[in-house]
Structure 1
Amino acid sequence: MRTLIAVTLWFTLLVLCWPLALLLIFLFPLIWLVLLPFKIIGLSISLVFQFIGAILMFPFKVLGVK
């Protein structure tokens, strides 16, 4: 659904201001590459916190405490 909305907005921008739409089509991969390390860092931090939570909750799961 997000892709459909993005494509619809891009075509609307293409009709209203085609130079900006073409600039966006070329700059989007570069912006994505710049933001990719931050997404990877966020994912790894989230996984570390889930792992720590699983380690801390393991004794309670073994004992059957809810």
Structure 2
Amino acid sequence: MTTLLIWCILFVLCWPLALLALVLWPVLWLLSLPLRLLGMTFDAVFALLRAVLFLPARVLGHRQRDH
């Protein structure tokens, strides 16, 4: 909802820029998809490494202390 409000304000102030943003937004979204997939992949790899590294502590019953 906030994005729509900001776009409407931009449309009132500078309509050519608002129309350009409206046209280019799907293109930028499509270009960012591979980077999002790469980020999810790295996140999954690091989660797997963390799980493997902390597995011995979990098997031995170590509990994390609350601060």
Normalising by structure 1, what TM-score?
0.88
Q: Distance in 2 between matches of 1:56 and 1:25?
A: 46
Stretches of structure 1 that go unaligned for 5 or more consecutive residues are: none
Stretches of structure 2 that go unaligned for 5 or more consecutive residues are: none
Computing the radius of gyration from Cα coordinates, the structure with the larger value is 2
Runs of 4+ in 1 over 2 A off after TM superposition: none
Per-residue deviation, 1:45: 0.2
**What is the aligned-residue identity percentage?**
41
- Cα RMSD (Å) of the superposition? 0.9
Normalising by structure 2, what TM-score?
0.87
Could you say which structure has the higher helix fraction? 1
DSSP 3-state at the match of 1:15: helix
Describe the superposition over 1:1-44 as per-residue Cα deviations: whole angstroms up to 9, x where unpaired.
Answer: xxx21111100001111111111111000011111111110111
